[in-house]
Structure 1
């Protein structure tokens, strides 16, 4: 096995223009909404499983890579929910905080139940009183779901060529702040909020841009939003980011909230079938 170079810990394989065109060509009307719902569901499951944001981000990126590298026909036979569950289980398994299949299945059953707090499942909000019977998992159901989980996990691994390495921008963003001489908890929090929102972006930002660009874009936008003063010159060029990529990322980060609100409005009119 060839050794992994230092640069591979800081970069990711990016999608090609042909892959993005193919994805858009194969999309049906609901595909972007379903992908957004899948990423949001994966994030919510990771939070309930008490996984770190790094593991959650890892899971979403692995799922995105699989969705881009596979065709809709390749994913038939399993629900959209099943692939999100497999991605979170896989990301946790290769991290320092693995979770059991039972925990994953219990969490997803709850999130997809009538007691779910997710707006994509209950557009009007969760009921005031949770009913445990709504998300009870029998032994028979557990065994079936466990087998689905393992099969979907193997499909994701095969679809991404068994390459599970993911470089994330969180540490880079903090490093860039230090390099620029900026020390602000408020700024760092806002940067992380943009990086987390970027995982849900319909533009699949984590597949089209390297971590250094993602970090710089989030830092630039966050600093502008809270009025934090950075150096006057084109500081982003020091971190190997050009003006065009910076502008695209700033617009993309800034549009996620509006996209999410638009999707929430759609869910009230037309429920998505994820289960």
Structure 2
């Protein structure tokens, strides 16, 4: 039976097992742990840039999903060809352009110049020393006119690369609104529960299991509700209520474990890269690969 066209906007095209296990980066020799770290940093970069650009969380989350999809599979982008920072900026610019909150290339590039400045950035993986206590010199984060023109060409080129790589499919269904509807259906209307649900859904964008490209929005919503209700001590309806929302126990269990593990994963990443920067451009990736090669060979 053909899917109901009216429900198409509530679901996403999911990644295949082959796409998850054989990325273009891994084929090009990028270790899985390094790829995971860069991808996670790219998500944080996208999220922070979206906040500074005053974009809604829906737009930011959609940009994160597009950023994540770009690296999937043998036909996806490779970290040895495309810089994570450029893909992040282009994904955010593209998503905003398709929304009710378009933003200009100049605004996007100014924000990214600040966030990627080693002396001015508040991001731990760009500036391990932490956000500067005193206002940094504008020279460290202001984009010159010549720099802007060059960066704009890169932004627009990577935008077109993303579109081609994704087959021009930019549709992203998010679980946030679905989750709030489910909460009303279940009679769980406490603000604290709704707040925790949203926090879990936003945190899942950082998941190393790539939950947003492996599971449909309804399943993500159910898992976030299950977790939030337990944390807030709220009893939901008796029985296996998640089955009403087309989620089985096995899928629910996997998603709950995945969402709960994200915080620990982020702590481990911060400790692993302590006092070091995560490579966000191709040259830095190559330098990290060379550093690892030399360590393995004892040079």
Shorter-chain TM-score: which interval? over 0.9
Q: Paired residue for 2:130?
A: 125
**Are positions 1:255 and 2:257 aligned together?**
no
Cα pair distance change 1:221/1:63, threshold 3 Å = same
What is the number of residues matched between the two proteins? 272
- Offset at residue 125 of structure 1 (A): 1.4
Residue matched to 1:11: 11
The answer as to whether partners of 1:123 and 1:264 remain within 8 angstroms in 2 is no
How many angstroms apart in 1 are the aligned matches of 2:235 and 2:267? 30
Q: Secondary structure at the match of 2:22?
A: helix
Measure how far apart 1:205 and its partner are.
0.4
State yes or no: 1:214 paired with 2:214. no
CA distance in 1, matches of 2:37, 2:183: 34
Q: What TM-score results when the alignment is normalised by the length of structure 1?
A: 0.95
Query: Which one of the candidate residues 78, 85, 108 is aligned to 1:81?
Result: 85
Structure 2 residue 148 is matched with structure 1 residue 142: yes
The SS at the match of 2:51 is: helix
Considering only aligned residues, what root-mean-square deviation do their CA atoms show, in Å? 1.6
Q: Aligned with 2:274: secondary structure?
A: helix
Query: Contact 1:201–1:256 (CA<8 Å) still a contact in 2?
Result: yes
Q: Hey, what does 1:180 align to over in structure 2?
A: 186
Cα separation, 1, equivalents of 2:64 and 2:41: 11
Distance 1:89 1:13, change over 3 A: same
Determine the C-alpha separation between the residues in 2 that align with 1:92 and 1:192.
Answer: 21
Instruction: Map 1:219-230; keep pairs closer than 5 Å.
Output: 219-230=225-236
What is the Cα deviation at residue 267 of structure 1?
2.2
Q: Give the Cα–Cα distance (whole angstroms) in 2 for the partners of residues 63 and 196 of structure 1.
A: 15
| Distance (Å, rounded) in 2 between the aligned partners of 1:64 and 1:20 | 11
* Residue pair 2:196, 2:228 contacting (<8 A) in 1 also: yes
TM-score w.r.t. length of structure 2: 0.87
Runs (4 or more) in structure 1 with deviation over 3 Å come to 24-27, 69-78
The answer to whether the aligner puts 1:240 opposite 2:210 as a matched pair is no
Tell me, in whole angstroms, the C-alpha distance in 2 between the residues paired with 1:267 and 1:21. Answer: 24
* Alpha-carbon contact 1:69-1:160 (below 8 Å) kept: no
* Distance in 2 separating the partners of 1:118 and 1:86: 19
Aligned residues of 2:129 and 2:275 also touching (Cα < 8 A): no
Aligned residue for 1:268, secondary structure, equals coil
Whole-angstrom CA distance in 2 between matches of 1:41 and 1:182: 33
